[in-house]
Amino acid sequence: MLGGVFKKVLLVLLVVVVFENWGKIERVFNPSQVVSEHVRASARVTLYATEWCGYCKQIRRFLDQKGIPYQAVDIEKDAQARKAYEALGGGGIPFVSVNGTLIRDYNPDAIMAALK
């Protein structure tokens, strides 16, 4: 009986880990979607986010899938990140700075345009 419960808990944990890291996993199996080395090397991306934000998770997944390096900062847990977020105009999450371009929503097309 205990072995069956353990297997179910293990399966749920595996599903959660796969879901949280899907962008990285997908990049391994579909490298054609990765951006060029030049774009990746010049990318300056900061994601101002929170743990609970679903759109923030989607942006993380998108950036991971494309192989775009980024710094994610939690504006609820990091006071310095909160100050930087507010200094840039904040006003909602997700909030992404891409090479100096500020993107206020989940907008993959705007992110890609700002990288070029």
Which residue shows structure tokens 């054609």? Answer: 32
Report how many domains make up the chain.
1
- Of 11-20, 22-31, 73-82, the range with the lowest mean pLDDT is 22-31
Structural element, H or E, at residue 105: none
23: DSSP letter: H
Whole-model pTM: value is 0.67
The alpha-carbon radius of gyration of the chain (Å, integer) is 17
What tokens does 108 get?
């993959």
Q: What is the pLDDT of residues 55-103, one digit of tens each?
A: 999 999 999 988 899 999 999 999 999 999 999 998 899 999 999 999 9
Amino acid at 36: S
CATH of the domain at 84: 3.40.30.10
**Domain range spanning residue 80?**
2-115
Average pLDDT, the chain: 84
Percent of the chain, pLDDT > 70? 80
